């Protein structure tokens, strides 16, 4: 029902109400009312000319022409009729009104109709306004949104950072444009393409660009839209979706988050009649059953391919998997160029430097970075987005927003300065460690201070030396506190550092085979191990003696790294003091000031710093310079950080080195 019809019905209802009120309150020439005794007396006095008897109501006309009305006390009064006839009064009878059969049926069925109306209203609400798709009872209708070829403006030029994935799907575009090119040689296009990758890498955008390039209709639906509270609804929606797609063929069906409906059967609590499993069975049949779906390509996206049903992944259904990974440095630069086209840029913006400083960022992260930079520029009333705003946005995403309103005592600030200086000095001295990008004691996110390490290039694996260097730098903050505050003055600021260092040491020994004592054997087969005194349930090879050896080897790795880090800070105690003083003065220092301190020079004031009373530098700092000749690819998951934070963000609530 459109808006015009709804408005028309509303005005009709209002008009009916107004007419009813007007009729009830209007003044008309109603006849004079008198009691029954007066009426009988006037009849006997021959003052009444005519009467009309309607049940108990008697209306009539007097000899003078006036009207009257009275109510008789009983239904039958034989003496009244004699008086009327003897007084020459004209008597008119009125037949009682009879309700029609249809009116009586309507009145009798009104309660049932009211109950049905209420039921249909609630069913319509449960189906999310299903009346617009065929009525409130249209449970099995597909919820897929259809975009015509004219509505899709996205093309391959809008997708960057996944060149290999684009090459994989380009032949889909060729087939949709000219299917006979492949059919002449007996080839068939894949029925389904599964796009796999971390969140935010552009899987949905890539699928939409295929439809935009091929100029074909595009059906978009989420995996959760199939499953409802009623059994069989999901399977019916799958059938309806493919029936609609056949009418639009050639076309593309895109199912986002297919793991919501495509999980492996038989592994949950439900049985074979479970609603989700019925939906999956119907999807399997539609993709490759007795009836061929020519010209329909199903594209699905998920970041959990490990939980999908094997029958869904076999050839004939999802014939190929297209991996859409996190972009490398070249891909990040291309993605930035796509998003930077939408904002006015200053002359100092260098996408290459931003791409180098954002390892591990997905396409969505980079889009968010550009948006944050535009917001920073708007707050400053600037007409162009410059490099300063992009650096500020990068720091906010990687390290958290600044909390300048948080009040810290001078003692806490000094302790945080020494803590972060300890991390930074170890990172600068240890071989094959990521270069130090920035050190700050301004509270950001959940941390009171942050030491940010930035890889020089993308990382895909870790060497043993890199892991040892990371463990040493993690203990740098605690050792610096111990050197300045004494054993009893050490704070809880290193709690997360200790956790991450222990996980790295355990993974070295039990997972990655980097211990000479334990050998190249994987002792942990799952994530149920317990560090430092595990229960021995993590793997089949872990006897009680093996667990004891593992714990001893992990402790040995940690003790060696702790001793090595302490020796470095003892040898550079003057630089530790100088760096802490610089942090107390400037609050934030970058690679330029760090190089000055490590060379024994007084650090240069940060750019834009002109407040000798302790004002903070202008946000963003300078671009990190290589302070290590080591090749430092991205760390990935090897840091063992399992607190839910992205690997590139600081996870120590009281300060510590950031993840890669």
Two structure tokens written together for 354: 């931003």
Could you give the C-alpha distances from 161 to 201, 307, 350, 363, 513, in angstroms and in order?
A: 9, 26, 17, 8, 34
Cβ pair 285, 273 in contact under 8 A: no
Q: What secondary structure does DSSP assign to 70-82, as a single string?
A: EE-SSS--HHHHH
Q: Identify whether 404 is preceded by a cis peptide bond (ω within 30 of 0).
A: no
Which of helix, strand or coil describes residue 514?
A: coil
Q: Output 87-93 pairs: Cβ under 8 A, ≥24 positions apart.
A: 87/43, 87/44, 87/46, 87/48, 88/46, 89/43, 89/48, 89/49, 89/50, 89/51, 89/60, 90/49, 90/50, 90/51, 91/50, 91/51, 91/53, 92/50, 92/51, 92/52, 92/53, 93/52, 93/53
Q: What secondary structure does DSSP assign to 82-147, as a single string?
A: HHHHHTT-EEEE-PPP---HHHHHHHHHHHHHHHHHHHHHHHHHHTTSGGGGT-TT-TTS--PEEE
Q: What secondary structure does DSSP assign to 225-256, as a single string?
A: GT--SSTTHHHHHHHHHHHHHHHH-SEEEEEE
| Nearest Cα residue to 425 out of 270, 641, 576 | 576
Q: Which residue has the tokens 């505050």?
A: 485
Q: What secondary structure does DSSP assign to 595-633, as a single string?
A: HHHHTTSPPPPPTT---TTTPPPPTT--PPPP---S---
H-helix or E-strand spanning residue 205: helix 203-214
Q: Computed from CA positions of residues 24, 25, 27, 31, in that sequence, does the dihedral angle turn out positive or negative?
A: positive
| Nearest Cα residue to 393 out of 189, 621, 61, 146 | 621
| Nearest Cα residue to 463 out of 333, 638, 247 | 638
Q: Which residue has the tokens 């987005």?
A: 385
| Nearest Cα residue to 660 out of 635, 637, 629 | 635
- Sequence-distant (≥ 6) Cβ neighbours of residue 299 within 8 angstroms: 192, 193, 194, 195, 207, 210, 252, 253, 254, 255
Q: What share of the chain is helix, strand, coil (3-state, %, to 5)?
A: 45, 10, 40
| Nearest Cα residue to 323 out of 501, 198, 455, 215 | 198
**CA 540/CA 560 separation, integer angstroms:** 29
Residue 420 a catalytic site member:
yes
Cβ pair 282, 240 in contact under 8 A: no
**Which position among 402, 420, 456, 503 bears the catalytic label?**
420
Q: What angle do CA 11, 12, 17 make, to 5 degrees?
A: 95
| Nearest Cα residue to 584 out of 429, 409, 457, 352 | 409
Cβ pair 388, 396 in contact under 8 A: no
Q: Which residues are catalytic?
A: 420
């Amino acid at each position: 029902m459109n808006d015009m019809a709804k408005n028309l019905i509303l005005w009709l209802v209002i008009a009916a109400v107004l007419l009813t009120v007007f009729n009830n309150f209007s003044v008309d020439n109603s006849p004079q009312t008198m009691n029954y005794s007066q009426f009988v007396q006037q009849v006997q006095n021959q003052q009444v000319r005519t009467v009309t008897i309607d049940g108990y109501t008697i209306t009539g006309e007097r000899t003078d022409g006036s009207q009257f009305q009275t109510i008789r006390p009983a239904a039958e009064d034989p003496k009244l009729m004699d008086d009327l006839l003897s007084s020459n009064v004209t008597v008119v009878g009125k037949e009682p009104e009879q309700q029609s059969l249809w009116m009586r049926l309507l009145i009798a069925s009104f309660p049932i109709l009211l109950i049905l109306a209420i039921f249909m209203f609630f069913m319509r609400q449960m189906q999310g306004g299903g009346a617009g798709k065929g009525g409130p009872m249209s449970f099995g209708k597909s919820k897929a949104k259809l975009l015509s070829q004219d509505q899709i403006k996205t093309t391959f030029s809008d997708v960057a950072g996944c060149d290999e994935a684009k090459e994989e799907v380009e032949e889909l575009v060729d087939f949709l444009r000219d299917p006979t090119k492949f059919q002449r040689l007996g080839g068939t296009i894949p029925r389904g393409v599964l796009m796999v990758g971390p969140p935010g890498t552009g899987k949905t955008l890539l699928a939409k660009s295929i439809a935009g390039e091929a100029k074909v209709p595009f059906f978009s639906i989420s995996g959760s839209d199939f499953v409802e509270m009623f059994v069989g609804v999901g399977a019916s929606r799958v059938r309806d979706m493919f029936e609609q797609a056949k009418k639009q063929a050639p076309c593309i069906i895109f199912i986002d988050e297919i793991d919501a409906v495509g999980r492996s059967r038989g592994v949950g609590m439900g049985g074979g009649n479970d609603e989700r499993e019925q939906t999956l069975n119907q999807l399997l049949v539609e993709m490759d059953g007795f009836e061929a779906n020519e010209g329909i390509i199903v594209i699905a996206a998920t970041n959990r391919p490990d939980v999908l049903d094997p029958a869904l992944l076999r050839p004939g259904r999802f014939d190929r998997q297209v991996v859409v990974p996190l972009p490398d440095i070249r891909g990040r630069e291309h993605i930035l160029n796509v998003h930077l086209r939408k904002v006015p840029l200053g002359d100092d913006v260098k996408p290459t430097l931003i791409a180098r400083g954002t390892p591990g960022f997905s396409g969505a992260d980079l889009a968010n970075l550009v948006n944050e930079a535009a917001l920073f520029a708007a707050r400053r009333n600037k007409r162009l987005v410059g490099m300063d705003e992009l650096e500020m946005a990068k720091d906010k995403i990687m390290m958290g927003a600044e909390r300048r309103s948080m009040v810290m005592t001078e003692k806490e600030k000094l302790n945080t300065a020494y803590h972060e200086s300890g991390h930074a000095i170890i990172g600068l001295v240890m071989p094959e460690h990521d270069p130090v990008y920035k050190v700050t004691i301004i509270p950001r996110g959940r941390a009171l201070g942050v030491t940010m390490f930035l890889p020089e290039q993308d990382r895909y694996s870790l060497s043993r030396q890199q892991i040892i260097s990371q463990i040493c730098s993690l203990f740098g903050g605690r050792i610096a506190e111990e050197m300045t505050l004494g054993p009893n003055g050490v704070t809880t600021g290193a709690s997360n550092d200790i956790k991450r260092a222990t996980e790295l040491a355990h993974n070295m020994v039990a997972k990655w085979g980097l211990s000479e004592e334990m050998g190249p054997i994987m002792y942990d087969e799952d994530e149920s191990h317990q560090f430092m005194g595990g229960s021995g349930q993590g793997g089949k090879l872990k006897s009680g003696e093996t667990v004891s050896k593992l714990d001893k080897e992990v402790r040995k790795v940690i003790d060696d790294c702790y001793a090595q880090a302490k020796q470095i800070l003892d040898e550079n105690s003057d630089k530790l003091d100088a760096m802490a003083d610089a942090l107390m003065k400037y609050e934030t220092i970058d690679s330029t000031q760090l190089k000055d301190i490590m060379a024994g020079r007084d650090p240069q004031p940060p750019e834009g710093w002109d407040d000798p009373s302790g004002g903070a530098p202008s946000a963003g700092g300078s671009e990190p310079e290589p302070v290590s000749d080591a090749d430092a690819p991205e760390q990935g998951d090897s840091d063992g950080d399992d607190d839910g934070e992205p690997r590139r963000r600081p996870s120590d609530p009281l300060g510590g080195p950031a993840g890669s």
